[in-house]
Structure 1
C-alpha cells in the first residue's frame, strides 16, 4: 500500500512538472528582457590596449553568438564585442567612443555633436551604427556589386565583410584594399587590418541595411 501511494505521488509530480514546462514553452519569448552586456563572452581583445600585430593569436576566431547566427543582429553584436566587449561606456586610448567605437569626426557626419550624451545613450549608439552602416553601404555600392563573391588576397569578399571593414577603417580604405586586390591593406592603431575584418565578419546577412547617402543617427 505504501509503495502504491509513493508511485502515485511520483506520477503526479511528473505530470505536474510536464504540464508546467509545457505551459512555459508556449509563452511568448520577450528578447528585450535579456542582454549580453556584462557577460564574459569570447571577446577577442582585452579592454586594455593590445596591439594585434604583436599579440599572440590564441583567441578563437569562430562566431561567439551561436543563437544569433549569421543574422544582422548577430553581425552587429559580433562586431560590437570585437570593438568594445559590447559596453556602451567604453572610451579607448585613441578617443573612440561607445559600444561600436566611433570617432568624433564620424559622429559629426551622422549628426551627433555631444560625445557625453552619446556615451550615455544606448539607443543613440544603436542608431549611429545603423546610420553609419547605411552610409557606408551607399558609398561602397559599386564595390559591393563588383567584388562580392570574388576572392581578394585569398579572402572571399562578402557584403558583411566589406561593411565591417568600412566600420573599422572607413569606406575609402576598403575601396583601396579591393581595387588594389589586397596590396593596400590599411591597419588601425592596434594593428587590425581591413583584410582581417573582411575575413572575420564574412557571410552575415546585412540585407536589412539599405544604402543611404544622407543617413543620420538623429
Structure 2
C-alpha cells in the first residue's frame, strides 16, 4: 500500500519536471539588448601607455589594465580631470609625502581659504573635493583676472599663454607665484618641492575651455 501511494506522487512530479525542463531549454536571451554595436566610444589614453601614472609630486602608482579613459577633449571636465590625473592619478584618497591631500593635492592652508577646516573630512569626501577644485579655481581666476587679460595670447618662455594654463599653474604654485612668473616674462619660474615648474603647467594644460569658471573673490566649497 505504501509503495502504491509513493508511485502515485512520484509519477506526476516527474512529468512536471520534464515539462519545466522542456520549456526552460527553449528560453533564449536576446543579447542584442546588451550590445554596444554602433556606439562611438573614444579614448584619450591607450592601455599601452597608461600602465603607470606619475603625479606632480613625483609619486608613481599603477593603473589597472581594465580602466578605460573616456575622451573629454578640451572641455572644463577635461581640464579638471587632466589636472587631477597629473596631481594624483585621479586618486581621491592620495596623501603625498608633504601632506597634500586628495585627487587635486590640496594643502591645508589653501583649503582654509575656501572654507574647509577639516582635512580628514575633506580627504574622504570626493564631492567636497570636486567643489573645492572649482572654488579654488574661481578664487584664483579673480586674483589673476588682470594678468589673464594682459598675457593670454602672448608667448612666454616659448609657451603660448592661455587662461587654462594660468589656472593650472595657479593650482600648482599659487596665484602669487604665477603673477611673478608672468610679469617677469618667465625669469621668475617657480618650481615645487618635486621640481614641477609653472612653465611646465602653462604648457601642459594650455587650450582648455575654462569659461565655466567664474571669477569669485569669496568662493567657498559648500556641500
Task: Give the match for residue 169 of structure 1.
Answer: 173
Q: Residues 216 and 152 from structure 1, CA distance in 2 versus in 1: closer, same or farther, beyond 3 angstroms?
A: same
Task: Give the match for residue 114 of structure 1.
Answer: 118
- Spell out, residue by residue over 1:134-183, the C-alpha distance to the aligned partner (whole angstroms, 9 max, x if none): 00000000000000000011110000000000000000000000000000
Give the conservation status (yes or no) of the 8 Å contact 2:55–2:85.
no
Counterparts of 2:150 and 2:51 in 1: how far apart (Å)? 34
SS in 1 for 2:150: helix
5 Å-filtered alignment, 1:113-152, equals 113-152=117-156
Counterparts of 2:114 and 2:33 in 1: how far apart (Å)? 52
CA RMSD of aligned residues (A): 2.7
**In the alignment, is residue 50 of structure 1 matched against residue 58 of structure 2?**
yes
Shift of 1:19: 8.2
Which stretches of structure 1, 4 residues or more, deviate above 3 A after TM superposition? 16-25, 40-44
**In the alignment, is residue 97 of structure 1 matched against residue 95 of structure 2?**
no
* Count, aligned residues: 177
Counterparts of 1:18 and 1:44 in 2: how far apart (Å)? 37
Counterparts of 1:138 and 1:173 in 2: how far apart (Å)? 15
5 Å-filtered alignment, 1:1-218, equals 41=50, 44-45=53-54, 50=58, 67-218=71-222
Q: Residues 157 and 42 from structure 1, CA distance in 2 versus in 1: closer, same or farther, beyond 3 angstroms?
A: farther
SS in 1 for 2:54: coil
Q: Residues 215 and 20 from structure 1, CA distance in 2 versus in 1: closer, same or farther, beyond 3 angstroms?
A: closer
Q: Residues 70 and 22 from structure 1, CA distance in 2 versus in 1: closer, same or farther, beyond 3 angstroms?
A: closer
Give the conservation status (yes or no) of the 8 Å contact 1:43–1:82.
no
TM-score computed with the length of structure 1 as normaliser: 0.74
Give the conservation status (yes or no) of the 8 Å contact 2:55–2:86.
no
